[in-house]
Amino acid sequence: MSEHADTSGIQFGLFTVSDITQNPVTGETPSERQKIKDAITIAKHAEEVGLDVFAVGEHHNPPFWSSSPTTTLAAIAAQTERIILSTSTTLITTNDPVKIAEDFAMLQHISDGRTDLMLGRGNTGPVYPWFGKDIRQGLPLAIENYALLRKLWDEDVVDWEGKFRTPLQGFTSTPRPLDGVAPFVWHGSIRTPEIAEQAAYYGDGFFANNIFWPKEHYQRLIELYRQRYSHYGHGTPEQAIVGIGGQVFMRANSQDAVNEFRPYFDNAPVYGHGPSMEDFTEMTPLTVGSPQQVIDRYAAMRDTFGDYQRQLFLIDHAGLPLKIVLEQLDILGGEVVPALRRELAKNRPTSVPDAPTHASRVKAVFGDGPAREARPGANRGDNLTAGSPYQDTPAPAGAAFGVGRKEA
């Protein structure tokens, strides 16, 4: 967690959708390699200017590059010290829960605990058949896969059987979560109340994307999550863990910001050639103007959604070149976020929890005692033979060389 982040109990950061879009001003389109390298540069600079979180989405289709978020985040972890590394979507529907469990536990160890993730169903329909799944089963997949993911993290040895994948018997995912505490999970949603319900049931965080639709839509989802969080006994509605998205473009002079950003807005891959920028900024949290305009608008988010724990901004999309993105980061970290920390700390009830971190969650489990450090032992699963259809048959060729041998 950033050294700045305890001022208001809120984590501030960036989330990227990883699009590769032609710069509408210069006509140039960056390469995949360039955009991947740029993302690492942006994440490092986000830490330098005092932000707390860098999050990257997961996509498997052009014009996006982020098919392997944990690989990207591991590279960033090796070049940073404080910033929390997250996803802004991990596809719980089309990824194998075993692979999610192992990849993010690995990232926990690599980053010294600076890891969490946001689960979602994704917004690209064709991704389901690409990974052998049926989009008509999207919600059941999300529910079943997450139940298995939780079990894989929370139990050393897992026996499990469900509808959408082969059973597991005596299975241990490796490595085990750092300090015996799994990464914190946010459930991200644009439109689905069942996802808010899922987040509430497990006592996890709920992240409302909040960059496309009017605030009233997200108000309803967040209020549902808060009420159901309380219903399941995790705390009061005000103690639920909420994150929201945002989108800004800033210059010292507001008209300069409008003039500079307009061609990027008009040609953005998601909403370009649709509503005017003026209509979009009125209907959604997109704010194009001076730093003070951004401060005023986002300080008022608490009036809309209640006290919350994470605010992420989208600033690097629609063909904006790296130089401009880094300038936006300088403004965000130098002027906007410090002011928002002060504003959102005012009259914040002491009962409202701070944003979760690995350290705070370890302390909640172990107090001041030592955290658990997983080691191979008798309590571990046998991933080589347990549940194998071959365990009662003669050893296969190669067994003499240790292939398929059960270790003591």
The fold for domain 11-376 equals TIM Barrel (3.20.20)
Closest C-alpha among 332, 322, 343, 262 to residue 290: 332
Instruction: Kindly give, in sequence order, each residue whose CB lies less than 8 Å from that of residue 126, ignoring residues fewer than 6 positions away.
Output: 61
306-332 tens-digit pLDDT: 999 999 999 999 999 999 999 999 999
Dist. CA 317–CA 265, nearest whole Å? 9
CA angle 190, 335, 299 (to 5 degrees): 45
Q: What is the mean pLDDT of residues 5-21?
A: 81
User: In the chain, what percentage of residues exceed pLDDT 70?
Assistant: 89
What is the C-alpha separation between 72 and 67, in angstroms, rounded?
Answer: 9
Residue-level pLDDT at 379: 54
> Cis before residue 30, ω within 30 degrees of 0?
no
Query: What's the confidence (pLDDT) of residue 134?
Result: 77
Residues contacting residue 369 through CB under 8 Å, at least 6 positions apart: none
Q: Of 328, 383, 236, 301, whose CA–CA distance to 49 is shortest?
A: 328
Q: Which long-range contacts (CB under 8 A, 24 or more apart) does 26-29 make?
A: 26/321, 29/319
DSSP-derived letter for residue 177 is P
Determine contact, residues 11/60, Cβ cutoff 8 Å. no
pLDDT in tens, 147-173: 999 999 999 999 999 999 999 999 999
pLDDT digits (tens, 9 = 90+) for 337-365: 999 999 999 999 999 999 999 999 999 99
Count of C-beta atoms within a 10 Å radius of residue 392: 7
| d(C-alpha 313, C-alpha 123), whole Å | 19
> At CA 373, angle to CA 372 and CA 379, rounded to 5?
90
Q: For 183-201, how does the pLDDT look when each residue is reduced to its tens digit (9 = 90+)?
A: 999 998 877 888 999 999 9
Q: What is the pLDDT of residue 384?
A: 61
Beta bridge partners of 397: none
Q: Are 108 and 115 in contact (CB under 8 A)?
A: yes
Residue (of 360, 313, 386) closest to 114 by Cα position: 360
DSSP 302-359: HHHH-S-SEEEEE-S-TT--HHHHHHHHHHIIIIIHHHHHHHHHTT--TTSPPPP-HH
Q: Identify whether the C-beta of residue 16 lies closer than 8 Å to the C-beta of residue 39.
A: yes
pTM listed for this prediction: 0.88
Please report how the helices 193-202 and 215-231 are oriented relative to each other, as an axis angle in degrees rounded to 10.
30
- Least confident segment among 30-34, 136-140, 152-156, 379-383: 379-383
CA distance to 26, 47, 296, 347, per residue, from 50 (Å): 31, 5, 20, 23
